[in-house]
Amino acid sequence: MSIRDVILETTLQLIAKHGISATSLQDIAAASSCSKANVLYHFSHKEHLIDEALTSTLSATAEFIGRFEGQGIATLDDRRDFIEGLVDLLIAHRRGIHTVITHPYLGDSIPALTKARELMTRMANVVAGSATSELDRIRFGIAIAGVTYALVTTEILELATLGPTELKTFLTEALQDMVLHSAGPQVVVS
């Protein structure tokens, strides 16, 4: 892995753990085992670094949301497909997606987070278009934030020993428990 890739991965790890505001370029440099000058050689400023670190996550998130914008998630099968795809996205981009979901309020200063805010609005519109109530939308928001938190705090929650298959199963079951039963009167979950 190149030093540039190490810096990008380290950035995602640190901002997932401490938040963007609490993570400095010096913190990233130290955790990457390089100098701050080396970080600045690859990335002109912190916002540029965060933009680059989130590129893959933003692209994958946009692709995921785009799959459901036309069809919605009104039926039980649609919601199951949505949850399954969301869990795959969360696992594949665990650190980046946490930042995309929990930090879009910093979009005024970081272009990648402006894109994150747009994506979260699009996801909310997919959910709202199929929601039967405000409680349905709130339940979905809590579920999404909760699973992203669980993924970035696996050590704190003593989940670090879970393998990928087991983790996917648990996340899928948790989201289904929180979201599927509220899909509307046409859906019966047994």
Chain segment 51-95, per-residue pLDDT in tens: 999 999 999 999 999 999 988 888 889 888 999 999 999 889 988
Q: Which of 120, 93, 122, 90 is nearest to 105 (CA)?
A: 120
Rounded mean pLDDT of the chain? 85
Q: Are 13 and 95 in contact (CB under 8 A)?
A: yes
Name the residue ranges covered by the structural domains of the chain.
54-182
Query: What is residue 34's predicted lDDT score, i.e. its pLDDT?
Result: 96
Q: What percent of the chain has pLDDT over 90?
A: 41
Read out DSSP for 143-161?
Answer: HHHHHHHHHHTTTTTT-TT
Query: What is residue 189's predicted lDDT score, i.e. its pLDDT?
Result: 42
pLDDT value at 18 more than 50: yes
Q: CB count, 10 Å around CB of 5?
A: 11
Rounded Cα distance between 107 and 187, Å, is 37
Note the pTM of the prediction, 2 decimals.
0.84
Type of residue numbered 149: Y
Query: What is residue 185's predicted lDDT score, i.e. its pLDDT?
Result: 44
Q: Which residues contact 71 (CB under 8 A, 6 or more apart)?
A: 78
Q: How far is CA 141 from the centre of its chain?
A: 12
Rounded Cα distance between 182 and 187, Å, is 8
Question: Which tokens hold the place of 14?
Answer: 């640190």
Helical H runs in the chain?
Answer: 3-18, 25-31, 36-42, 46-69, 76-92, 94-102, 111-130, 134-152, 164-179
